[in-house]
Structure 1
Amino acid sequence: MRSKIIVTGGCGYIGSHTAIELIENDFDVVILDDLSNSTEKTISRIHKITGVTPTFVKVDLKDSLATSKVFETHKDAVGVIHFAAHKAVGESVQKPLMYYKNNFYSLLNTLEAQSEHGINNFIFSSSATVYGTPNMLPITENNETQRPFSPYGNTKKIAEEILDDFTKSSDSFSAISLRYFNPIGAHPSGEIGELPNGIPNNLMPYITQTAAGVRDKLMVYGNDYPTKDGTPIRDYIHVVDLAKAHVIAVKRLLKKEQEESLEFFNLGTGVGYSVLDVINSFEDVTNSKLNYEITGRRDGDVPQLYASTDLAKEKLGWSADRELNDMISSSWNWEQNLRSKQN
């Protein structure tokens, strides 16, 4: 009998890639999404890749009654992977209350509904932003978490504290928080990838949309950081590698292999690249020139973030396989495929 996993925010970028990996590992997938920053077309794209159409329910997880009804219908699920959240750093600085309301209500309602129906395994989509401005690099899970600069990051930090309290209060509930560094790339099929509404807040879709002529130019936010070329350094990880880690984490919970009721794992490559490194690599991989402009720093950004992934290797048996050029070429393939279908 196939085990059922509920994926909140499953029409989004990381959620959709994770749904594919779950299906390919013989799980039944139920996707919950309000489509506020995604599209229902993702469901047909997942079917095209896997031959399986996941169950889809459009639901606003901020609505506790609606959330409870969905979980009543799918109370035979064995676990939840929770992606549903607003995620743009800059926007969160401008609209903090929207971020706190959306990200906390959706989390709390999900936890309440699943525990009410005996679904006791939970994977949380967290972020390296919980480390704030790190006092040592690479960042290990032993790095102390700090108050992040952005409300977005703070929702992740507080959410982990909520999970810590909740798992301690329960004899049966177990959770893993996966702290992402910077996901980029797309599925090798070119059928799904990152597709934000409006002007992208993340670097790679901003690059590919600029190269495709959707944007006039790429804005590089700051070149006066204390880094090798003045631009921020990040640990970029291919979204397929990231998705595979979620499946491993689910299996760890189902097999009851976790050592604590709440575990934390960094997901990155351990290699830091600057914004200009990524731009230069894109130009090399695609044999094109990008129109970009250096502008002022963006609120909420920190100079450097890159991971130690030793714990994930040791406990999950997971490490990233794909390098920066793979991430860039798959992102560009997705962008070109997307634009060809629109023309």
Structure 2
Amino acid sequence: MGSHTCVALIEAGFTPIILDNFSNSHPAVLQRLAQITGRAVVCEQGDVLDTPWVEAVLRRHQVAGVMHFAGDKAVGESVAQPLKYYRNNISGAVSLLEAMQAANCQTLVFSSSATVYGDPASVPITEDFPRQHTNPYGHTKLVIEDMLAAMQVADPAWQLGVLRYFNPVGAHPSGLIGEDPSGIPNNLMPFVAQVAIGKRPFLNVYGNDYATPDGTGVRDYIHVQDLAQGHVAALQRLLQSGESFTVNLGTGSGNSVLEVVKAFELASGRPVPCQMAARRPGDVAQCYAYPALAQRLLGWRAERTLADMCTDVWRWQSGNPNGYQ
């Protein structure tokens, strides 16, 4: 998300400054961002948990607004390693907010998640649905949302855009940047891509007995390019109006795991063998957005299709079989 949003920010006339500890990303991205945008991107290497360092970076660059992407995001891993998620996600957000407050920078676009809706009673999901959680990852996002609300009560000068992502997939159409997970992918699309290219023998489909048309989980998959443009629209809205908001960023429709597999086979011309497996703890049957509020507030809506997402992921994966290595 961060690298694609950097491109979108530059295209919109902003000057992004990257803060990264490269725990789940690669310095090679910087060179590729320069190839895509035609300009070097400044990167400060350090950890969001280091509050004095974050404050110093904000002051040195006279940062006008922050987009917070630095969090762990895999549902299954959060169930297995909850403390990792509470420390990195919640403590990281506290550290960032302390640094922003000290540096007098009070404009923030926060990457939240549709997981704050837990297992919804119905779909599509609107922003006023009850919030709940079914896993530690979702719990961290919910806690951070509450923390941001408390910050604004304490000081109304805060300008906060909370973006509840649904399921980001895809890659930049240049094929130069894309998702390169370390180890075994925790998300569907990169795993499908690695099966298609021959790095993995088959895809585990976790649960084929959900109350969905084909029994597999249904999600709202949104192209990372659309999502990046949603972040730019959110920042522009905050800077222009000063009013805080919370919006869903999704397409408004869902696709099942098997529908994604079929779409990827069409895009790649490669088979994606599947093996059925038990449901994963913390997963829900279906989850997709009602995104009208984002269109009304931000003038934004998702434009790219599932076929676009699969085509761009295949271009990235086939052109970079070993990721950024």
Checking the alignment, whether the CA contact within 8 Å between 2:52 and 2:99 is kept in structure 1 is no
Distance 1:120 1:64 in 2: 15
Q: Secondary structure of 1:28's match?
A: coil
TM-score w.r.t. the length of structure 2 is 0.97
Which residue in 1 is equivalent to 2:35?
48
Instruction: State the Cα distance separating 1:341 from its structure 2 match.
Output: 8.2
Q: Whole-Å Cα distance in 1 between the matches of residues 323 and 310 of structure 2? A: 20
Structure 1 residue 280 displacement after superposition: 1.1
Bigger Cα displacement from structure 2, 164-173 vs 174-183: 164-173
The Cα shift of 1:291 comes to: 1.6
Maintained 8 Å contact 2:116/2:138:
yes
Give the Å deviation of 1:281: 1.2
The CA distance in 2 between the partners of 1:77 and 1:69, in whole Å, is 11
Aligned residue number for residue 10 of structure 1:
none
CA contact (8 A) 2:208 2:216 kept: yes
How far residue 342 of structure 1 moved from its aligned partner, in angstroms, is 7.9
The SS at the match of 2:320 is helix
Cα shift at 1:112? 1.0
- Paired residues for 1:64-103 under 5 Å: 64-74=51-61, 76-103=62-89
Q: 1:326 aligns with which of 308, 313, 321?
A: 308
Name the structure 2 match of 1:4: none
Distance between the aligned counterparts of 1:318 and 1:85, measured in 2? 24
- Residue of structure 1 equivalent to 2:236: 251
Mapped to 1, the partners of 2:324 and 2:250 lie a distance apart of 33
Alpha-carbon separation, structure 2, partners of 1:273 and 1:317? 25
Partner of 1:8: none
Which residue of the partner structure matches residue 28 of structure 1? 15
Name which of 134, 142, 148 aligns with 2:120. 134
Unaligned runs of 5+ in 1: 1-13
Determine the structure 1 residue equivalent to 2:321.
339
**Does structure 1 residue 282 correspond to structure 2 residue 232?**
no
Residue 139 of structure 2 corresponds to: 154
Task: Give the letter aligned to residue 23 of structure 1.
Answer: I
- Deviation at 1:318? 0.5
Q: Hey, what's the Cα distance between the residues in 1 that align with 2:51 and 2:303?
A: 39
Which of 26, 31, 44 matches 1:57? 44
Counterpart-to-counterpart distance in 1, 2:44 and 2:200: 33
Percent identity reads 46
Using the alignment, how far apart are the partners of 2:311 and 2:91 within structure 1? 37
Q: How well do the aligned residues superpose, as a CA RMSD in angstroms?
A: 1.4
Distance 1:242 1:194 in 2: 14
- Superposed CA offset, 1:260-300 (max 9, x none): xx411000101110000101111122222112211111111
Q: CA deviation at 1:137?
A: 1.1
Give the match's secondary structure for 1:264.
strand
Per the alignment, residue 267 of structure 1 pairs with 249
Name the counterpart of 1:9: none
Cα shift at 1:18? 0.3
Report deviation, 1:166: 0.3
Residues 23 and 52 in structure 1, CA contact (< 8 A), matched pair in contact too:
no
Equivalent residue letter for 2:109: I
Residues 229, 274 of structure 1: 8 Å contact kept: yes
Cα pair 1:82 1:125 within 8 Å, conserved: yes
Q: Is the 8 A contact 2:317 2:323 kept in 1?
A: no
Q: Secondary structure at the match of 1:246?
A: helix
Partner SS for 1:307: coil
> 2:206 touches 2:278 (CA, 8 Å); kept in 1?
yes
Corresponding residue pairs, total? 325
User: What secondary structure does 2:111 align onto?
Assistant: strand
Q: Is there any run of 5+ residues in structure 2 with no aligned partner, and where? A: none
- Matched AA of 1:315: L
Provide closer, same or farther for how the CA distance between residues 230 and 23 of structure 1 changes in structure 2, counting only shifts above 3 A: same
1:18 aligned onto 2:2: no
Q: Is the 8 A contact 2:267 2:314 kept in 1?
A: no
Determine the structure 1 residue equivalent to 2:224: 239
Q: Does the CA contact (< 8 Å) of 2:29 and 2:324 recur in 1?
A: no
Q: TM-score, normalised by structure 1?
A: 0.92
Match of 2:150 in 1: 165
Question: How far apart in 2 are the matches of 1:178 and 1:267?
Answer: 6
- The CA deviation at 1:19 is 0.6
Cα-to-partner distance string for 1:229-255 (whole Å, 9 max, x where unaligned): 110000000000000010011011111
Q: Distance in 2 between matches of 1:309 and 1:341?
A: 32
Report the Cα distance in structure 1 between the residues aligned to 2:242 and 2:149, rounded to whole angstroms: 18
| Equivalent residue for 1:181, pick from 166, 186, 192 | 166
Secondary structure of residue in 2 paired with 1:93 = helix
Does 2:247 align with 1:304?
Answer: no
CA apart distance, 1:122: 0.3
What corresponds to 1:223 in structure 2?
208
How many Å separate the matches in 1 of 2:324 and 2:46? 28
